């Protein structure tokens, strides 16, 4: 496992990304050789540009979720997403054509469109073939992390549930009881018992029960650790595989010792500069969309175009969030706040459309410029719900240590919340973000947001 953009990435996924980037490079040079009718001699300048194009292709694929677990295990999902990005990939092929022509690698201009169509077709065929092969290997557990559980019988149910939901990613290969490790009175041999069993099981790592640390054979575990077996606890495994924090087992030290909350002035200044730049850019780029939404809301009927609502922000300070109105003006006539729900009758026809593609959130760029919000962060909640959730969910108030965001880790991984259970699920993602936040993780979230908007995922 590796950490990329603040997120744990399996070795298999990283290999797939590198392989597909290398495939793009190979296709460009192979295509150039075919169309030029001879050997192509790369140059340093050309190599750099081709590498940048390969990275751009992988980023486009990543933004569409083609490296998410569902796309890696579901060929149909991969096909749908690949079909959706043919347009951007074709544009990249046009850019490639221009670069090869500029570097006088290929006499492209007589064959420009044929070359770009051919290159795009070759890319699609190679990626499809690679995905078929990769899916086959994944389904057969070739990339699974093999887990040996030491003690912790009560963890088996949770562990099996995790294995079932991430089939092909992890596998339980052994379960050792602590008393069984005492094979002899010879201490060195006793310390080798666990190591031998882990090696026989061909385990990749050993999972221990954090609630019984005092009963674990520490010397034997140190021997295993020295031999190259990572020693992990269930909360760490859960967090690594799901991208969220297990609320049932989180301990105070998990937040006290995390790196995400220890960012200094440089990080905060850079993040604020990025927020302002993206907010200004967003207001300019989406100005036509916002004008169209405002006109549609005005034509739909009476009532204000914008909706202002009190939310809780950084350090628990209240602010007024700005949105396009998507519900009737009498949505909360009783005066009691209510969760939004699927097929909510309070949502207007135009409101349903702008909520689907998140256009209703665009005015919040103004909140970002005012300093109330960040572009990326936990979603701000209403005071009424904050009071209720803080009583029921552990460490809920800690989300107010950072600026709330227009988009966030919870937003790109889970749908709109409509219940306490949904709020708890989103909170588990928010805590993960707090523990691991970084500028690169923010970039990853922004890339995922593109897919969420384009496919209208998780919206009502």
**Which of residues 8 and 351 earns the better pLDDT score?**
351
Contacts of 193 by beta carbon, 8 Å cutoff, 6+ apart: 181, 182, 183, 220
What does the pLDDT read at residue 346?
A: 81
Neighbours of 353 (CB within 10 A): 16
pLDDT band per the 50, 70, 90 thresholds, residue 123? confident
pLDDT band per the 50, 70, 90 thresholds, residue 43? low
pLDDT in tens, 356-387: 888 999 999 999 999 999 999 999 999 988 98
Contacts of 36 by beta carbon, 8 Å cutoff, 6+ apart: 105, 106, 107
Beta strand pairing call for 7-9 and 2-4: antiparallel
Question: How many degrees, rounded to 5, is the angle at CA 255 between CA 249 and CA 260?
Answer: 130
CA-to-CA distance for 224 and 382, rounded, in angstroms?
Answer: 49
What does the pLDDT read at residue 186?
A: 47
- Domain regions of the chain by residue span: 2-139, 145-242, 265-455
CA-to-CA distance for 244 and 240, rounded, in angstroms?
Answer: 8
pLDDT band per the 50, 70, 90 thresholds, residue 341? low
Distances (CA, A) of 159 to 155, 173, 209, 212, 233: 6, 12, 11, 17, 11
Give the residue-averaged pLDDT of 452-457. Answer: 71
What does the pLDDT read at residue 422?
A: 86
Classified by CATH at the fold level, domain 145-242 comes out as Rossmann fold (3.40.50)
376: β partners: 407
What does the pLDDT read at residue 334?
A: 65
CA-to-CA distance for 304 and 66, rounded, in angstroms?
Answer: 40
pLDDT band per the 50, 70, 90 thresholds, residue 351? confident
């Amino acid at each position: 496992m590796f950490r990329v953009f603040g997120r744990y990435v399996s070795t298999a996924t990283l290999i797939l990304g590198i392989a597909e980037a290398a495939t793009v490079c190979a296709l460009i040079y192979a295509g150039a050789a075919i169309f030029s009718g001879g050997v192509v001699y790369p140059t340093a300048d050309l190599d750099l540009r081709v590498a940048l194009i390969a990275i751009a292709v992988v980023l486009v694929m990543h933004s569409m979720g083609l490296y998410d677990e569902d796309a890696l295990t579901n060929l149909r999902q991969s096909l749908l997403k690949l079909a959706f990005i043919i347009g951007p990939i074709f544009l990249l092929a046009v850019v490639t054509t221009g670069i090869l022509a500029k570097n006088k690698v290929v006499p492209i201009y007589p064959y420009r469109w044929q070359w770009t169509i051919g290159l795009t077709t070759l890319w699609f065929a190679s990626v499809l073939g690679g995905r078929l092969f990769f899916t086959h290997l994944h389904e057969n557990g070739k990339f699974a992390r093999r887990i040996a559980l030491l003690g912790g019988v009560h963890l088996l149910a949770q562990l099996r549930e995790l294995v079932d939901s991430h089939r092909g990613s992890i596998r339980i290969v052994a379960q050792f009881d602590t008393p069984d490790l005492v094979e002899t009175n010879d201490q060195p041999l006793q310390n080798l018992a666990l190591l031998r069993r882990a090696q026989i099981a061909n385990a990749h790592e050993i999972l221990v029960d954090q609630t019984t640390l005092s009963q674990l054979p520490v010397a034997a575990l140190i021997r295993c650790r020295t031999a190259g077996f990572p020693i992990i606890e269930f909360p760490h495994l859960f967090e690594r595989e799901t991208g969220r924090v297990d609320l049932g087992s989180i301990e105070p030290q998990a937040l006290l010792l995390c790196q995400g909350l220890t960012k200094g002035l440089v990080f905060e200044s850079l993040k604020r500069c990025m927020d302002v730049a993206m907010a200004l850019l967003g207001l300019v780029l989406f100005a036509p969309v916002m004008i169209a939404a405002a006109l549609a809301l005005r034509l739909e009927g009476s009532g204000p175009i914008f909706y202002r609502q009190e939310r809780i922000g950084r350090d628990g300070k209240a602010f007024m969030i700005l949105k396009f109105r998507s519900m009737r003006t009498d949505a909360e006539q009783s005066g009691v706040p209510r969760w939004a729900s699927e097929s909510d009758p309070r949502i207007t026809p135009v409101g349903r459309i702008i909520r689907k593609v998140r256009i209703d959130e665009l005015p919040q760029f103004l909140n970002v410029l005012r300093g109330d919000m960040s572009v990326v962060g936990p979603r701000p909640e209403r005071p009424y719900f904050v009071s209720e959730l803080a009583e029921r969910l552990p460490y809920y108030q800690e989300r107010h240590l950072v600026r709330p965001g227009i988009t966030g880790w919870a937003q790109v991984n889970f749908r709109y919340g409509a219940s306490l259970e949904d709020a708890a699920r989103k909170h588990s993602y928010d805590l993960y973000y707090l523990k691991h936040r970084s500028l690169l993780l923010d970039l990853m979230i922004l890339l995922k947001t593109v897919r969420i908007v384009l496919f209208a995922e998780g919206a009502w």
